[in-house]
């Protein structure tokens, strides 16, 4: 993967993890803490049925192997891939980790034949995704689980 040399110069490791692994559970805790906890949603409710078959990418810090960032990739059709649940520990935000996750997931999708990448972005994060070539489509809508305003975004390959 193109991103590996960037990570070797830091104390981070970019890696795919298995559903149910310790790193996956750390990422789930991070997702819960930053996306759901303040809305009083039970931890068990954050999991979606398709997660077991999706690709899960994390950035960990060595030597503790602590998950700092996470993203998930799902294949909607032969040429459409969906990026979900991108999250970065607050103290590590604005250091490029989210961009690394987004680039890596995009590279994997392209390698697997993606013609279109889609995601649902919090409206406060639209500019972040636009810097990577995603464009908003449609109207702002509330998240079905949290009510936080989101907008669908896409990137044609």
Assigned domain for 149 exists: no
> In the structure, what pLDDT confidence band is assigned to residue 3 with cuts at 50, 70 and 90?
very low
Phi-psi region of 83 (alpha: psi -120 to 50; beta: other; left: phi over 0): beta
The pLDDT confidence band at residue 10, using thresholds 50, 70 and 90, is low
In a domain, 10, yes or no: yes
pLDDT, position 64:
77
Q: Is the pLDDT of residue 127 over 80?
A: yes
- 145 assigned to some structural domain: no
Sign of CA dihedral 65, 72, 27, 101: positive
Distance CA 28, CA 82 (A): 18
**Structural domain contains residue 49:** yes
List the CATH number of the domain containing 38.
3.40.630.30
The rounded distance, in Å, linking the Cα atoms of 155 and 26 is: 29
CB atoms within 10 A of CB 102: 24
pTM over 0.85: yes
Residue 24 belongs to what domain range? 4-113
Residue 156 has pLDDT above 50, yes or no: yes
Domains of the chain: total: 1
Q: Is position 65 within any domain?
A: yes
What's the gap between Cα 40 and its chain centre?
A: 22
Q: Is residue 143 part of a domain?
A: no
Distance CA 123, CA 139 (A): 11
Nearest to 7 by CA among 57, 79, 77: 57
User: Is 36 a member of any domain?
Assistant: yes
Q: Is 32 a domain residue?
A: yes
Mean pLDDT in residue range 17-22: 94
DSSP secondary structure string for all residues of 83-96: EEEEEE-GGGTTSS
């Amino acid at each position: 993967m193109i991103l590996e040399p960037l990570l070797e110069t830091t104390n981070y490791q970019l890696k795919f993890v298995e559903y149910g692994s310790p790193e996956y559970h750390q990422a789930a805790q991070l997702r819960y803490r930053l996306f759901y906890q303040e809305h009083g949603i039970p931890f068990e409710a954050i999991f979606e049925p398709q997660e077991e078959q999706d690709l899960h990418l994390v950035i960990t810090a060595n030597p503790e192997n602590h998950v700092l960032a996470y993203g998930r990739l799902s294949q909607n059709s032969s040429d459409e891939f969906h990026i979900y649940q991108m999250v970065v520990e607050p103290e590590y935000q604005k250091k490029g980790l989210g961009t690394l996750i987004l680039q890596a997931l995009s590279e994997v999708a392209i390698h697997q034949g993606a013609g279109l990448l889609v995601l649902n972005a919090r409206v406060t994060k639209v500019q972040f995704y636009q810097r990577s070539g995603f464009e908003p489509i449609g109207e702002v809508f509330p998240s079905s689980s949290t009510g936080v305003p989101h907008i669908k975004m896409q990137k044609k390959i």
